[in-house]
Amino acid sequence: MSFDALVDQTREALKEILPDTVEVTDIQLEGPHIVLYTKQLDSFLSGGDLLRQIAQRLRRRVLVRTDPEALIDPKEAERAIRELIPVEAEISALYFEPETGEVAIEAANPGAAIGRQGAVLNELKRKIGWVPTVVRTPPIPSKTVEEVRVHLRNVFDERHSFLKKVGVRIARDRLPEKIWARSTALGGYREVGRSAHLLTTQNSKVLIDCGIDPGSDRTPFFNAPELLPLDSLDAVVVTHAHLDHCGLVPVLLKYGYQGPIYCTLPTRDLMTLMLLDAIKVTNQEARKGLYDSSHVREMVTRTIPLRWGETTDIAPDMRLTMHNAGHILGSSICHFHLGDGDYNLAYSGDIKFERSWLFNPATNRFPRLETLILESTYGGYRDVQPSRQQATEDFSALASKVLDRGGKLIVPVFAVGRSQEVMLVLEERMREKRIPRVPVYLDGMIFEATAIHTAYPEYLNSQLRTQIFQQGDNPFLSDVFHRVDSQQMRMGILDSKEPCIILATSGMMSGGPVMEYFKAWAPEEKNGLLFVGYQADGTFGRRLQRGLSETTFMDGSRQYGVPVRLEIATIEGFSGHSDRVQLMNYVATLDPKPQRIILNHGEESKALDLATSLHKRFNVESRVPYNLEAIRLL
């Protein structure tokens, strides 16, 4: 449907639904939204479920805003806001956007600012005309969250213009013939890393994930003819903020992609943090980067954040709904609805089908589902992980053993996900005196990533949310944790003789501050190294797991050897990936059952093994394509 046809359809729907007292002065498209402007916002809000009726009639997301001519002065609006919103909301800042008639309210307690069933916000809309949106003031100040919010305010005009272009592109006419759909593997198939997947119809092209290989820096197949030119893409969808899924999104912008990036709010902020850190590491290693910070800023400008459960048009014949994947903060299973109910596909990204310290298990219920693209990282028949409880016990036992003999324990962690889970375990076990209470040092991006977790508690599991925001007990603020914020502090820790625990990046020991601790402490048998996450082929962490006894490093032009004598252990139960049993149970409990399962994100032998088992047990077509292989879906 063209832009003009959509506007005409909207006007016809408004005539039938709205009372005569409510006038819509303008209709605009902004990204996936139809935006209605009116001078009678109060009447519009008083009309019951008018917005829902319009959205259902048009089958699109609808926003309503006050006509700019009817907005009251921002100073008067601010006085009203502070009068109506309870003091316990703890407003920290207000930001007015006259072009859209919106006011962003930062509050430590968003629930109090919103009110029961949105009562406070609705009253504000009636009184001031401005449309209020509430965002949480992070309990732990986050530099990334603040910089992202400031950047979006600074590029407001540019972003507003961009969203209008996206809206028009989504609303373009479809080709008249019956829809067809094709899935193309561009990276992450029969391997772990450089995840990239192209979903194509005769009307649309959408790229799902665009990551880098952590073991070799290999990229997806950017030269695949289906992908080019990059500006022919309608959308890029990012499942989560690990670099093997998002690490090359800025490269798309650098080389011509001009469209939107869809992900959740936490994924946007964590992705920004991870990408900027990757630039920093590249510069420190005197390597030429594939992109720079300007491309990351452009990515933030073009990102359209979605909430779980929101269905959004992203192309003329494609709708997207994101669901909890249980892997890391904001990670999502992406459900694509093609055509007018013609076909449905879910792309799992990385999933955890188990309640963890941080998250609820991955969503396994969808309205319709013909094809599932499922990860197979731990899909081999021997890939059975211990329970979270057993992993906690094993972690406690090893930590106590190392600390009791006066050693230091190094835990290489990914900044996002595993580090926060380990922090929760350490805080609880030290509080209960089941692990010796020693300093726990956080080196790398861990502290900043933790701050982002506290900014989005609605993405954590219900038990942790209750503990933090109702009981007032935030385990991330425990005094056992110490942020390593300088080289001088790091050198002091390295020189100290006292037992301690180090959580440091990178999780696969492919660089980062963890290597400094390893070089200094590897020769001493009393120390320990504990892996709690997946170690990809080609990484230093995998080599250590396989029994590396000595390694070499460079100090300027001098090469020197380091014997590996510290105790090395691996605890799989902290993984953010589902093991073999959980993957099989996930498919067993899927509602509805898919007709086809395509496996990716797993070593070849594991993916093939899982495919065979799925076919035998569920009698479902199971495929393990090669990179660059295309599968006709419809």
Judge if 537 and 590 occupy the same domain: no
Question: What is the CATH classification number for the domain harbouring 33?
Answer: 3.30.300.230
The answer to whether residue 475 is domain-embedded is yes
Look up tokens 């320990």; give the residue.
528
- pLDDT of 372 over the 60 cut: yes
Q: Torsions phi, psi of 336, nearest 5?
A: -110, 130
Average pLDDT over residues 391-403: 93
Q: Determine what percent of the chain falls in helix, strand and coil, rounding each to the nearest 5.
A: 40, 25, 40
Spatial CA neighbour of 24 closest among 63, 74, 73: 63
Spatial CA neighbour of 224 closest among 626, 601, 600, 629: 629
Average pLDDT over residues 329-356: 95
Judge if 122 and 158 occupy the same domain: no
pLDDT for the residue 64: 85
How does the average pLDDT of the chain come out, rounded? 91
Average pLDDT over residues 141-156: 90
Judge if 236 and 371 occupy the same domain: yes
Q: In what order do the strands lie in the sheet with 408-412?
A: 481-483, 440-443, 500-504, 408-412, 528-531, 567-570
Judge if 499 and 415 occupy the same domain: yes
Judge if 482 and 586 occupy the same domain: no
pLDDT for the residue 471: 59
- pLDDT tens-digit series, residues 523-545: 999 999 999 887 878 888 999 99
Where is the domain boundary, 548, 574, 600? 574
CA distance 490 to 204: 51
Question: What is the CATH classification number for the domain harbouring 478?
Answer: 3.40.50.10890
CA distance 400 to 393: 11
Judge if 526 and 628 occupy the same domain: no
End-to-end CA distance of the chain: 22
Average pLDDT over residues 85-104: 87
pLDDT for the residue 472: 66
pLDDT for the residue 470: 64
Spatial CA neighbour of 617 closest among 571, 580, 568, 562: 580
pLDDT for the residue 214: 77
Using DSSP's 3-state secondary structure scheme, residue 349 falls into coil
In terms of Cβ atoms closer than 10 Å to its own Cβ (0-12, 13-18, 19+), residue 9 is middle
Where is the domain boundary, 557, 574, 591? 574
Look up tokens 């009678």; give the residue.
40
pLDDT for the residue 457: 83
- pLDDT tens-digit series, residues 240-262: 999 999 999 999 999 999 999 99
C-beta of residue 64 within 8 angstroms of C-beta of residue 70: no
- Determine if residue 321 is left, alpha or beta; phi over 0 gives left, psi from -120 to 50 gives alpha, anything else beta: beta
Give the number of domains in the chain: 4
The answer to whether residue 539 is domain-embedded is yes
- pLDDT of 336 over the 80 cut: yes
Q: Is the peptide bond before 486 cis (omega within 30 degrees of 0)?
A: no
Judge if 451 and 343 occupy the same domain: no
The answer to whether residue 144 is domain-embedded is no
Average pLDDT over residues 303-318: 94
The answer to whether residue 604 is domain-embedded is yes
Residue 118 belongs to what domain range? 81-137
Residue 29 bridge partners (DSSP): 34
Judge if 346 and 414 occupy the same domain: no
The answer to whether residue 148 is domain-embedded is no
The answer to whether residue 529 is domain-embedded is yes
Where is the domain boundary, 574, 602, 624? 574
HSE toward the beta carbon, residue 256, CA cutoff 13 A: 9
Beta strands in 578-627 (DSSP E): 596-600, 621-623
Using DSSP's 3-state secondary structure scheme, residue 140 falls into coil
State pTM to two decimals: 0.88
C-beta of residue 508 within 8 angstroms of C-beta of residue 411: no
What is the signed CA dihedral for 517, 523, 526, 532, rounded to 10 degrees? Answer: 50
- pLDDT tens-digit series, residues 468-524: 766 567 888 889 999 998 999 999 999 999 999 999 988 888 888 999 999 999 999
Residue 206 bridge partners (DSSP): 199, 235
The distance of Cα 4 from the centroid of its chain, to the nearest Å, equals 35
The answer to whether residue 424 is domain-embedded is yes
Look up tokens 């906690």; give the residue.
392
Question: What is the CATH classification number for the domain harbouring 88?
Answer: 3.30.300.20
Using pLDDT thresholds of 50, 70 and 90, give the confidence band for residue 46: low
Read off the tokens for 268: 């946007």
C-beta of residue 583 within 8 angstroms of C-beta of residue 591: no
CA distance 565 to 18: 75
For the ranges 117-126, 154-163, 325-334, 582-591, the lowest mean pLDDT is seen at 117-126
pLDDT for the residue 138: 80
CA distance 315 to 422: 40
Using pLDDT thresholds of 50, 70 and 90, give the confidence band for residue 1: low
C-beta of residue 227 within 8 angstroms of C-beta of residue 255: no
Judge if 334 and 252 occupy the same domain: yes
For the ranges 262-266, 297-301, 530-534, 575-579, the lowest mean pLDDT is seen at 530-534
CA distance 580 to 380: 6
Judge if 348 and 359 occupy the same domain: yes
CA distance 378 to 570: 15
Question: What is the CATH classification number for the domain harbouring 255?
Answer: 3.60.15.10
DSSP for residue 171: T
Q: Torsions phi, psi of 610, nearest 5?
A: -65, -40
* pLDDT cut 70: percent of the chain above it: 98
The answer to whether residue 147 is domain-embedded is no
The distance of Cα 245 from the centroid of its chain, to the nearest Å, equals 10
Using DSSP's 3-state secondary structure scheme, residue 419 falls into helix
- pLDDT of 282 over the 90 cut: no
* pLDDT cut 90: percent of the chain above it: 59
Tell me the C-alpha to C-alpha distance, in Å, between residue 153 and each of 275, 350, 389, 416: 21, 32, 44, 26
Average pLDDT over residues 15-41: 86
Judge if 213 and 285 occupy the same domain: yes
pLDDT for the residue 20: 80
- pLDDT of 227 over the 90 cut: yes
Tell me the C-alpha to C-alpha distance, in Å, between residue 241 and each of 247, 248, 280, 541: 8, 11, 17, 21
C-beta of residue 167 within 8 angstroms of C-beta of residue 28: yes
Judge if 556 and 503 occupy the same domain: yes
